[in-house]
Amino acid sequence: MTTMKQITADDLARRLQGNGSLRLIDVRNPDEYEVVHVNGAENVPLMQLLDQACEWDRNQPLMLICHQGPRSQNAVRQLEVAGFTDLTMVQGGTQACVRTGVSLIRGRRRFSIQQQMQLIVGPMILAGAIGSFFYWPLIALTFIGGCGLLMAGITGFCPLVNLLGRAPWNRPKKVCATPPEDCSPGPRATSCCGG
C-alpha cells in the first residue's frame, strides 16, 4: 500500500468551492451525519461501505471523512484493498471542518448508536441486579450485559451496535435522483430510490 493521501479542512473548503464534481463520502453513522455534515457529502456508513462501493468507478477520485479521522483511515484501507486508486482522507474529519468554517448542513440531534446501546444494556444490567433479589436467575441479565460490554471494549466490536446500525431508524436516508412526483409510494419508489 502507498502512503495515504490527506487533505486539510481548509483545503477541502477551497476544493469544494472550485469543484462541483468532487465526491466526498462521510463514513460516519447516520445519526452523526444527521447532526452535522459537510455540504455535499454523501453518507455511506463504514459498515456498509464495501457493499455500496462495489457499484462505484474504482478510478474516480474519492475523499473520505468521518468525525476525527480513524474511520476514514479505515475506509481508505478497505477501498484500497478493493482496488480503488484515487483516495484522499480529510485530516481531523468533520470536527476540523466545523472549526475551520467549511460549508456545513446541521440537522436535528438524535441518540447516537452508542447511546442507544447504552440505553438498552444499562437498564438490562440494572433490571438483572435488582430483579435477582426477587428471582435469582435474573442475575443472568447482568452477566450477559457485562460480558457484552467487556467483549466490545477488548475487541472494538459490539454485536448490539452492529445490529442497531442496521435498524431502519439508523440507516441513511436515500436520495432520489428523479423528481419527487416519480417517487410516490408504490412500485416506482422502489426502483428510483432503491427502496
Note the pLDDT tens digit of each residue in 8-64: 999 998 888 876 678 999 999 887 898 899 999 999 999 899 999 999 999 999 999
Name the pTM for this structure: 0.62
* Percent above pLDDT 70 for the chain: 85
So where are the chain's domains?
Answer: 5-106, 113-170
* Residue 71 scores a pLDDT above 60: yes
pLDDT-derived band at 185, boundaries 50, 70, 90 = very low
Mean pLDDT in the chain?
Answer: 82
Torsion of CA 47, 166, 121, 28, to 10 degrees: 40
Alpha-carbon gap, residue 119 to 111, rounded angstroms: 10
Q: Read off the pLDDT of each residue in 149-174 and give the average, rounded to a whole number.
A: 79
Q: In this predicted structure, what is the pLDDT of residue 22?
A: 83
For range 97-119, the mean pLDDT: 84
Q: What CATH superfamily is the domain 5-106?
A: Rhodanese-like domain (3.40.250.10)
Q: Measured between alpha carbons, how far is residue 189 from residues 51, 99, 103, 137, 172 in Å?
A: 21, 39, 31, 48, 16
Higher pLDDT, 1 or 7: 7
pLDDT band at 163 (very low <50, low <70, confident <90, very high): confident
Strand partners, 62: 87
Any alpha helices (H) in the chain, and if so which ranges?
Answer: 9-18, 30-35, 49-53, 70-81, 93-100, 113-131, 139-155, 159-165, 187-193
Ramachandran angles phi, psi of 89, nearest 5°: -105, 140
